[in-house]
């Protein structure tokens, strides 16, 4: 993992953390997976 990826993960969690927590609520999908997909797709 590069520093840019880590920075992006921190930014995404800081900026959208509450929304990311709410989106997969009640599913087996963890927050880290949602963030990883978001980073990969940008």
Q: Give residue 10's pLDDT.
A: 92
Q: Give residue 26's pLDDT.
A: 92
Closest by Cα among 3, 2, 8 to 36: 8
Whether 38 and 32 have beta carbons less than 8 Å apart is answered as no
Q: Where residue 38 falls among pLDDT bands split at 50, 70, 90?
A: confident
Q: Residue range 2-13: average pLDDT?
A: 90
pLDDT for 25 beyond 70: yes
DSSP 12: H
Q: Residue range 27-42: average pLDDT?
A: 89
Q: Where residue 22 falls among pLDDT bands split at 50, 70, 90?
A: very high
pLDDT for 1 beyond 80: no
Q: Where are the domains of the chain?
A: 3-40
């Amino acid at each position: 993992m590069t520093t840019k990826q880590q920075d992006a993960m921190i930014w995404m969690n800081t900026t959208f953390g509450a929304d990311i927590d709410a989106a997969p609520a009640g599913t087996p999908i963890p927050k880290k997976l949602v963030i990883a997909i978001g980073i990969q797709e940008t």
